[in-house]
Amino acid sequence: MEKVLRIDMGADGGPAFREEPLGDYAGLGGRGLTSAIVCKEVDPLCHPLSSQNKLVIAPGLLGGTTAANSGRISVGAKSPLTGGIKEANAGGQAAQALGRLGYAAVVIEGKPQTDAIHKIFIGKDGVRISEEPQLKMLPNYDLVEVLRREHGDGISCISIGPAGEMKLCAASIACTDMELRPTRHAGRGGLGAVMGSKGVKVLVLDDSGTKPRAPRDPEGFKAANKAFVEGLRAHPVTGQALPAYGTNVLTNILNEAGGYPTCNFSRGRFESAHRISGETMAETETARGGMTAHGCHRGCVIRCSGVYHDKDGRFLSKQPEYETVWAHGGHCGICDLDAIAMLDFLDDNFGLDTIEMGVTIGVAMQAGLIPFGDAQGAVRLVEEVGRGTPLGRILGSGAAVTGKVFGVEKVPVVKGQALPAYDPRAVKGVGVTYATSPMGADHTAGYAVTANILKVGGDVNPLRSQGQVELSRDLQIATAAIDSTGMCLFIAFAVLDRPETFQALLDMIRTLHGIPLTAEDVVEMGKKILKMERDFNLRAGFSSAHDRLPRFFRDEPIEPHGVRFDVPEEELDQVFNW
């Protein structure tokens, strides 16, 4: 996996491609590689939908191997939502396929002169790029079914839905799972719009006839992977809670903690949270013949995904994740699991970020378009986005745009990106991450919920400002490094609590690449990535004034604790002073 596939969609005579060695990017993968290429090769002042922007797709350092939980793929570009650098990642089969095909990254650059839509096919025998007018504006599920009939069941797809083709700022990029369903999304930052601006509808990956990447030290790699799996299975979060209830196990936990943002961040508890909790969802799935434990890619041992059936026992959606259940549920005052699952399906099908869309609908409710709690009204609004109506295009542009159009004062965004499912007043460590991450409001950039709420990797009082900057800083550094390995972020629970599991991760990378790797090296990798990302944003016009939460989080206390976000601004400016 030492080569880069570059595809120029604006080449004279039509799209062209070439392969080249990693060169200066050697030793990088995943987020580290996408951010390095974007930082070095993209003009920070360019329009995100222009020919000057580049879309970078990269498996992690462990992609294409037999390492457990190594199937994350990173997608990077200048974001049309935030205006800064962006990396969004997803599970599914795509990362393993690209790794097995030998590619460290696919870089899509340039822009076609027409509005033609293209398919990029990548297999062991080469690359083919073709105009595919019949695929235009197909939703993701319909698109994949067409491709399955054409190419068989052994493919993986990276695609956009109608939202990406319309270049909406909430547009996601879908990756197919083991069952070839487009359920795993690189959701944040509107990167689906960048893919749409390149005239690319789908990348079809066929790794038939390939083998997993061979480690430099096969026996050492095998032993390290075994120890790593044992660590994941032994930890109560990765070995018990997530397989049993999925990520939605957090609903009751955050609601009890008073950090569950309800009705557009008006309070920290939702009285109907139990009706949409992970426990209730698991009972519903089991009763209807669905599935409560499912891996989104081969080699996943955590299996936090699932399958949600409707009342008639038919597939409705993947098991909605915690962020999705919150965004379309508690944030909107909705307590109907079936409606939430339908909204999840529609987002996946149209190619929309569930967090951005759920928060946007909550802002629309605040504006009075529909009342809080109106589940069917929410479904109608998302359908408007899929149809591309004028209202749909406003909503599909995200929460910040929707708030401006409808004159809403309380709009929960940072750098133009909607806040996820943890109120920063009651979970202050994640509030620091929201404010300061180069990615805009993003819980995964530094998941301080670990120590604030779950007491994993330490214990920092979520209601007090003390220690939150240090917690967020350390987690942002660690996360940047994990995002570069291709590992699922949920491994962090076991890695933080079990030194032997962390060592096993280091040993897998070392025995695969044949290079020494220490904990200090991992820290330096994370710092290097964050430095690149912040440098890009600085050149794009960002300053410390952008590393702030909306003012209402400081002015309005949240119940039940009556607390505000009170981490001093001068401390926020010290997050990256390591």
Within-domain flag for 530: yes
SS3 27: coil
SS3 content of the chain, % helix, strand, coil (to 5): 45, 15, 40
Q: Is the dihedral of CA 565, 569, 575, 578 positive or negative?
A: negative
Looking at residue 56, its pLDDT comes to 98
Looking at residue 45, its pLDDT comes to 98
SS3 129: strand
Within-domain flag for 393: no
- Report residue 19: phi and psi, to 5°: -105, 145
Looking at residue 386, its pLDDT comes to 98
CA distance 376 to 3: 48
Between CA 153 and CA 158, with CA 154 as vertex, the angle to 5 degrees is: 95
317 has which bridge partners? 308
Residue with tokens 């997608």: 75
Does residue 32 sit in the same domain as residue 72? yes
CATH code (residue 33): 3.60.9.10
Within-domain flag for 448: yes
Does residue 38 sit in the same domain as residue 102? yes
Does residue 481 sit in the same domain as residue 574? yes
CA distance 290 to 465: 43
Within-domain flag for 560: yes
Within-domain flag for 538: yes
Within-domain flag for 146: yes
Looking at residue 1, its pLDDT comes to 67
Looking at residue 24, its pLDDT comes to 93
CA distance 230 to 69: 13
Which one, of 301, 325, 182, lies nearest residue 242 by Cα?
A: 301
- Report the first-to-last Cα separation within the chain, whole angstroms: 33
Answer whether 0.95 is exceeded by the pTM.
yes
Within-domain flag for 266: no
Q: Which two tokens stand for residue 62?
A: 């462990």
Among 187, 206, 225, residue at a domain's last position: 206
Q: Specify the number of domains making up the chain.
A: 2
CATH code (residue 555): 1.10.599.10
Does residue 154 sit in the same domain as residue 233? no
Q: In tens digits, what is the pLDDT along the chain, a chain of 578 residues?
A: 689 999 999 999 899 999 999 999 999 999 999 999 999 999 999 999 999 999 999 999 999 999 999 999 999 999 999 999 999 999 999 999 999 999 999 999 999 989 999 999 999 999 999 999 999 999 999 999 999 999 999 999 999 999 999 999 999 999 999 999 999 999 999 999 999 999 999 999 999 999 999 999 999 999 999 999 999 999 999 999 899 898 999 999 999 999 999 999 999 999 999 999 999 999 999 999 998 888 888 889 999 899 999 999 999 999 999 999 999 999 999 999 999 999 999 999 999 999 999 999 999 999 999 999 999 999 999 999 999 999 999 999 999 999 999 999 999 999 999 999 999 999 999 999 999 999 999 999 999 999 999 999 899 999 999 999 999 999 999 999 999 999 998 898 899 889 999 999 999 999 999 988 899 999 999 999 999 999 999 999 999 999 999 999 999 999 999 999 999 999 999 999 98
Q: Which two tokens stand for residue 428?
A: 């202050």
Residue 570: give the domain boundaries: 215-245+424-578
SS3 287: helix
Does residue 520 sit in the same domain as residue 484? yes
Does residue 201 sit in the same domain as residue 240? no
Within-domain flag for 304: no
5 has which bridge partners? 19, 106
Which one, of 474, 477, 473, lies nearest residue 571 by Cα?
A: 473
Does residue 240 sit in the same domain as residue 106? no
CA distance 24 to 2: 11
Interaxial angle between packed helices 278-287 and 250-257, expressed in degrees from 0 to 180 and rounded to the nearest 10: 150
Give yes or no for a contact between 190 and 168, defined as CB atoms under 8 angstroms apart.
Answer: yes
Between CA 287 and CA 296, with CA 291 as vertex, the angle to 5 degrees is: 165
Looking at residue 295, its pLDDT comes to 87
Does residue 95 sit in the same domain as residue 189? yes
Does residue 441 sit in the same domain as residue 538? yes
Q: What is the DSSP letter of 427?
A: S
Does residue 66 sit in the same domain as residue 177? yes
Looking at residue 249, its pLDDT comes to 93
**Strand bridging mode 126-131 / 118-123:** antiparallel
Among 206, 230, 255, residue at a domain's last position: 206
Query: In sequence order, what DSSP letters do the residues of 436-447 get, joined into one string?
Result: H-TTSS-GGGS-
Q: What is the DSSP letter of 177?
A: -
Q: Is the dihedral of CA 187, 189, 193, 199 positive or negative?
A: negative
* Lateral strand order in the sheet of 315-318: 291-294, 305-309, 315-318
Residue with tokens 């580290």: 32
Does residue 522 sit in the same domain as residue 444? yes
Residue 247's alpha-carbon distances to 68, 158, 336, in angstroms, are 19, 23, 18
414 has which bridge partners? 417
- The helix or strand, by DSSP H or E, that contains position 368, with its residue range, turns out to be none
Does residue 454 sit in the same domain as residue 435? yes
